Amino acid sequence: MSDDKRRRPGKPGPSRPRTDATQRSARGSGQRVQARTVQPARRVAYGVLRAVSEDDAYANLALPHAIGEAGLTPQDAALATELTYGTLRRRGTYDAIISAAADRPVDSIDPAVLDALRLAVHQLLATRVASHAAVNESVNIVATEVSRGASSFANAVLRRVSRETPGEWQDKIESSARSDDERLALRSAHPVWVIRALRRALDAEGRVSELDALLEADNASPEVTLVALPGLAEPAEPRRPYAATAFGSPGGDPHRIITDARGTVRVQDEGSQLVALALAAAKPIAPGEKWLDLCAGPGGKTALLGAIAHETGAVLEANEVVPTRAGLVRSALRPVPGDIPVHEEDGRVLAASRPGEFDRVLVDAPCTGLGALRRRPEARWRKSPADVAELVPLQEQLLSAAVDALAPGGIVAYVTCSPHLAETTGVVQEVLRGREDLVELDARAVISEISRSPIDLASDGRAESGSVQLWPHRHGTDAMFLALLQRVPKGE
């Protein structure tokens, strides 16, 4: 048999028709065997890992749906959540260990087998799950979803992994690193390019010594934070330290609170709340002001602005170019009184068609999402520097169009859930450079004014800048960026 036709156990075979979330991953040599017993939490976690790998699903959306469909108990749901997020967060480190244990590159292993190996390695090296249970159930998953031959391969790899301690494996993979950044990448489970981007952003604030704390915070499970829409709900205890609308979920699971509030309370990161509140607080609100949320999906900030607009007599419109996300915006706005139109246009086109019309515009720009790695751990492995290069021109165009849509004296809030300097201060500087009718306001002063307690906001090093960068390790929020720009009449 020629080398190009020989397949080793664990190597992908011909594709098969897709059916359910687990069967669509089934490839490999030989026939799949009859389903073996696998603990429900592990089966749910594996199905979500496959959906993330094969369909580019987002775990924070796929996991709750999978838990509900499987009817997991609260205890099993908690285990499925830990297994899914833990495996996704440390995927790069686990891949290096699997490669060493299998003595082959991970890209030569069937993706369906690889996800089962990742799931097992997380249990073996980072949880208290018994080794035999982690190995046996992952081998059963491979036997059921791929083949007996692939399950023998998986068993051999996992037995080898289980013979060494987490520290021994960490030392082994780090010894092969070619640079300090590669070693840090293997230790912190962040791609090298992300580490370097985060280092540059912290260095701009003179806080590069905080890098290890930031990387550690990215790998920690975030606490659940809720928003109480102003005038429609009141925040409960425990209150969050900064946003007046933010509070925690006393029991961890917010489902009952959200259900009882009928949409006036929902899950929303405190940093996301702060940047929306800052736009509303940047100057006194006059009745009849016109506001626009230009890139509104999925609608959390839109609903918060909508509630404030209702209280103050302002008029809000929203826009979201992706129809499914526009539907989420409409759903988020349902509890807010009044008719808030949601357009489905390219934000650049919409803004260009409404010159000088709005008093406040929110540009929550499409970005890499590197500021939300705690909540979307798969993003670190899914994004690349090429994504930054593709997004920056779009971000600049959206911000420029939003400025054109401002009335004189109007304010635009430029927001990203990314601390990457090219997506944050780089975009702001480029837009400011080309306009004489635009000034940057002191967003740090605005955030400090509305914050319920003192907040540590560092300068980005530019004398004229007032932008804000929030951080998971420093503020307990996603790494949200905010700049406030005001349009002034030419010659003023």
Residue 367 annotated to the active site? no
Q: How far apart are CA 327 and CA 83, in angstroms?
A: 31
* CB atoms closer than 10 angstroms to residue 453: 8
- Catalytic residue, chosen from 398, 417, 480, 485, is 417
Sign of the dihedral through C-alpha 330, 334, 336, 337? positive
Side-chain-side CA neighbours of residue 161 (13 Å) = 34
First-to-last C-alpha distance (Å) of the chain: 80
* β-bridge partners, 360: 291, 411
- 96 and 192 in contact (C-beta within 8 Å)? no
Pairing between β-strand 481-487 and β-strand 438-440 as defined by DSSP bridges: antiparallel
Active site residues: 417
